[in-house]
Structure 1
Amino acid sequence: MSTLRLRQKHRYKLPSEGNIMERIAYLGLGIMGSGMATNLLKAGYDVTVWNRNPESCKSLIEQGATQAQTPAQAVENAEVIIYSLADDQAVEDVVFGQDGILSKVRSGQIAIDTSTVHPDTSRKEAAAYAEKHVEFLDAPVFGSKNESASGGLWFVVGGKRDVFERVKPILSPLSETIHYLGDTGKGAAMKLVGNSLVATQIEALGEAMILATKAGLNPKDVLDVLHVVDFRSPLFDGIGKMLVNRDFTPSFALKHMLKDANLIARFAQDLNSPTPAAAIVRETLKVAVNQGWGEENASALIKALELEAGIIVES
């Protein structure tokens, strides 16, 4: 997405239109967070950034961001606080810990958690922020490195509807679409539902491509068919091409997919909801991570299936 399009998507409010929210704190500058923070800068926002590893802030500082030394310092002067963190424990540390976000928030601010966490974590955050008279949205995203960099993420949001409407102009430069799912925790729930589908699709693609290879089919010919049939999928296209090229460069790390699979298992158990396919995928993910592939792309789970099959899918 071009800088021009980003600026067109962000509509500045005139004073007569109500409160202007221009100062944003962005915490967590991994693959997802760095792309989102960059696009907020391109859209003209005043952005203060923080990351556990300060070196990750360097490129954003060069683009005009201000660097904070602690989460507390990052949020002091912000009107909106956005964070993208690795897991529930990271949220616990950054939000509730010493020099954490809650130690410096003030009435009237809005906090937005884009991390993939259990809905109970979102509800815990919302309750803690409410005590400080701070509004909260759980707003995880679908998409990975490329979508984050291009401003093409898909947001799923839980929280108060009026707060959601207020922050839509801020989320717009980061997203292709923004979906309101309901009260607090609903965005987090939708993210787990979606990630369960993603993991199951990757497992299904891996099983199918291994079967095709054992049957003597050319993997590229198989992908050509999968690209046009009625069960085609952009995920099959992207992951399939990476697989046959043996490219496992991470856009979403395998270790994070296992973390999400563990969250999904807990979430399903909480609701007594049957997820037999997801359970099988979780076991495949464990094998792949135990093989030492956790830092590779999530599609490396297929390598565990190849190991079991005694064959490699490649062009």
Structure 2
Amino acid sequence: MASIGYIGLGTMGRGMVANLLRAGHDVTVWNRTAERIATDAPGATAAGSIAEAVAGRDVVLVCLSDDPAVREAVLGPDGVLAHVAATTVVADMSTISPTLSDEEARAAEERGIRFLDAPVFGSKGEAAAGGLWVVVGGDTETVETVRPVLDAVAETVHHMGGHGAGARMKLVGNLVVAAQLNVLGEALALAKRAGLDLHAVLDVLHVTDFRSPIFDGVGPAVLAGDYSPSFALDLMVKDAHLIDAFAAQVGCPLPGLAPVLDNLEAAQRSGYGRENASALIKVIADRADTHLED
């Protein structure tokens, strides 16, 4: 079993740390809000600093909310790379810009530290169940070294290529997630305006060749008026901006992203930022002058 330093104990981190412990790994956790460690990660060792969390660890996992948090925690003067041993593998599981991910990889290489970008698909439920899908960038030998650790939190692990490939794949995938949430909202609004029974609509969406787990999970929650957060809308807005910038960087027009981002930002302005990302559907329904709840 591995000794692991875990940086960040947010919605995803709680489930991942629990599964790492369940698999028999020795886990030391640092979190900006230190008092949460005892309640959210029982069984883990609490660290008072990043330096303490990473000292002598086999693997360090980082899972933070955005680029500024990662930059400070990984690249900062008191960050992971300033204190980690050369024998440790560092894997960043955050959803961040490919530019920052590449910067992390270069900084790690300069220090002789093995580094992977390893963001995850899934949300709170998958994290708790150990059913995340991990997309990894880095060299094959390092991926195989940490695979037993990643297997503890994942349903599947996908090696996408060299450094940065995982970070890029995460944005490609989140484009699909955002588009599906948006189109589900539009479809339900159209169906409601057309006088269709929305439960019957979801029954059809469940069995067709264009069915989706997102439709199956989010659809009934929308009809129940349930927007409790598994993945906060604020984070989806952040990711949509990352996707937009990434697409511009590689010269790929994404005309379908603009209306999705418009609905997300409107939902954020309406105060739905801490609700589930599916709360953009409330904006779509309002714009269609209809209500989707039972």
Query: Structure 2-normalised TM-score?
Result: 0.98
**Aligned residue for 1:32?**
12
Match of 1:223 in 2: 202
TM-score (norm 1): 0.91
Provide the aligned C-alpha RMSD in A: 1.0
Distance (whole Å) between structure 2 residues aligned to residue 136 and residue 214 of structure 1? 51
What residue number does 1:172 align with? 151
> Match for 1:234 among 213, 222, 226?
213
Q: Does residue 1:154 correspond to 2:159, yes or no? A: no
Residue matched to 2:62: 83
Which residue is equivalent to 2:123? 144
In structure 2, the partner of 1:292 is 271
Match of 1:7 in 2: none
Identify the residue that residue 247 of structure 1 maps to in structure 2.
Answer: 226
1:72–1:102 contact (8 Å) kept in structure 2: no
1:312 counterpart = 2:291: yes
Q: Are the counterparts in 2 of residues 123 and 185 from structure 1 also a CA contact under 8 Å? A: yes
| 1:210-260 superposed Cα distances (whole Å, 9 cap, x missing partner) | 000011111111111111111111110111011000000000000000000
Q: 1:97 to 1:277 in 2, by over 3 A?
A: same
Post-superposition CA distance 1:88-109 (Å, at most 9, x none): 1110111122421122112111
Q: Which amino acid aligns with 2:10?
A: G
Distance 1:144 1:221 in 2: 27
The residue number in structure 2 matching 1:43 is 23
2:169 paired residue number: 190
User: Does residue 23 of the first structure (1) align with residue 41 of the second (2)?
Assistant: no
Superposition deviation, residue 55 in structure 1: 2.2
Name the counterpart of 2:83: 104
Contact persistence 2:14–2:41 (CA under 8 A): no
For 1:54, the equivalent position in structure 2 comes to 34
| Equivalent residue letter for 2:112 | H
1:97 partner amino acid: G
Q: List per-residue Cα deviations over 1:133-162 (Å, max 9, x = no partner).
A: 110000000000010000000000001111
Q: What is the alpha-carbon distance in structure 2 between the residues aligned to residue 140 and residue 96 of structure 1?
A: 18
Cα contact 1:33–1:83 (8 A) shared by 2: no
Shift of 1:283: 1.0
Q: C-alpha distance in 1, partners of 2:179/2:261?
A: 9
Q: Which of 31, 38, 49 does residue 70 from structure 1 map onto?
A: 49
SS at match of 1:95: helix
In structure 2, the partner of 1:270 is 249
Structure 2 counterpart SS, 1:251: coil
1:115·1:140 contact (CA, 8 Å) conserved in 2?
A: yes
Q: What letter is aligned with 2:25?
A: Y
Structure 1 residue 34 displacement after superposition: 1.2
Structure 1 residue 61: Cα displacement: 5.2
Aligned-partner Cα distance in 2 for 1:60–1:313: 35
Contact residue 206 and residue 212 of structure 2 kept, 8 A:
yes
Please say which of residues 98-107 and 297-306 is displaced more in the overlay: 98-107
Query: What is the alpha-carbon distance in structure 1 between the residues aligned to residue 103 and residue 261 of structure 2?
Result: 26
**Superposition deviation, residue 60 in structure 1:** 5.1
**Identical residues among aligned pairs (%):** 50
